[in-house]
Amino acid sequence: MPQIQAAADLVRSRFGSIDYDLAVILGSGFDAASSGEVLGELPFGDLPGVPAAPVPGHSGRLLCLRVRDRRVLAFAGRFHCYQGLSARQAAFPVRLAKALAVDRLLITSAVGGISREMTPGTFVLLRDHLNLLGDNPLAGEVPPRFVDLSRLYRQDVFDCLAAVAGPAGINLQRGVLAALPGPSYETPAEIEMLRRLGADVVSMSMVPEAIMAAACGLQVVGLALVTNLAAGLTAASLDHREVLAAGASASGPFGQLFEALLENWCSF
Ligand code: NOS
């Protein structure tokens, strides 16, 4: 905790004492900086207590953005369990956002599509998740422990997203995420198992952050981008470079959804 406070102090000293409307964690290939003006920038490596270096496709920077009249704290990059971190360490950005008094968190990620409608390019508002990481960010340390996750992901933003998605020709769905530890992609048999368990999409992230956000009392929206069909659903091999390319090519639509979300969610 002292390190989180030290990190928050550093962010305040660099960006000023800002009242953020929203924090966003940007997954592989996601870019929010292009939606707004960058007011401040800080490499993750400068933050006390930062758990690891960024992985390819993640720039590893904390940004202070102005998007229209909103202030956004953007984590351009995230921490994953497959970097050898605990789920608690992976949730570092959420604890930092909490220490900076942020109360709304948007979590984004590239995901593999499992259900028939989850084709590459589809955006998915998370309805729920299956935590198959074998770890929980609330394990081990101070309470709260027994946090209610029955309404973890906000659903009332769907209409404002759909209002933008329809006319813009953006495919928007709702779905359940399965989070696996990775870093290998899944086998076709594992994907079939996940489908039978009720998962629509699969990734190696988001869940530690979402659970920590619930424990910290932050409102959470999960927005995923299907970058590939999951293993066994396509003849093509899975490749992280293609995940990054698919993310980059969806940056225009993501910007539109992000602005709609900022406008509506922040005025609820
Ligand atoms: N990601 C995926 N994770 C699991 N299975 C998939 O099919 C998939 N597609 C995208 C790997 O490319 C990175 O993107 C996400 C994972 O969370 C991982 O960070």
Span 155-173, pLDDT tens digits: 999 999 999 999 999 999 9
| Residue 202 beta carbon below 6 angstroms from any ligand 1 atom | yes
Dump pLDDT digits (tens) for 232-262.
Answer: 999 888 988 888 888 888 888 999 999 999 9
Scored b (16 or more CB within 10 A) or e, 102-119 reads bebbbbbbbbbbbbeebe
Element (H, E) at 160: helix 158-168
CA–CA separation, 48 and 68 (whole Å): 31
| Distance (Å, whole) CA 200 – CA 154 | 18
CA–CA gap between residue 54 and residue 7 (Å, rounded): 17
Q: What is the CA radius of gyration of the chain?
A: 17
- Asked if 29 and 244 count as a contact pair (C-beta separation under 8 A), the reply is yes
ipTM: 0.99
Dist CA 157 CA 93 (whole Å)? 23
Torsion sign (Cα): 145, 86, 177, 186: negative
What span, in angstroms and rounded, lies between the C-alpha atoms of 125 and 106? Answer: 11
* Contact 108 CB / ligand 1 (< 6 Å): no
* Ligand 1 in reach of 240 Cβ (< 6 A): yes
Whether 133 lines ligand 1, by a CB cut-off of 6 Å, is no
What pTM, to 2 d.p., does this model score? 0.95
pLDDT digits (tens, 9 = 90+) for 107-152: 999 999 999 999 999 999 999 999 999 999 999 877 678 999 999 9
Given ligand 1 and candidates 130, 227, 241, which is best to mutate, with the most ligand atoms within 8 Å of its CB? 227
Q: Report the residue among 190, 204, 223, 244 best suited for mutation to probe ligand 1: largest number of ligand atoms under 8 A from its CB.
A: 204
Question: What is the pLDDT, as a whole number, of residue 195?
Answer: 98
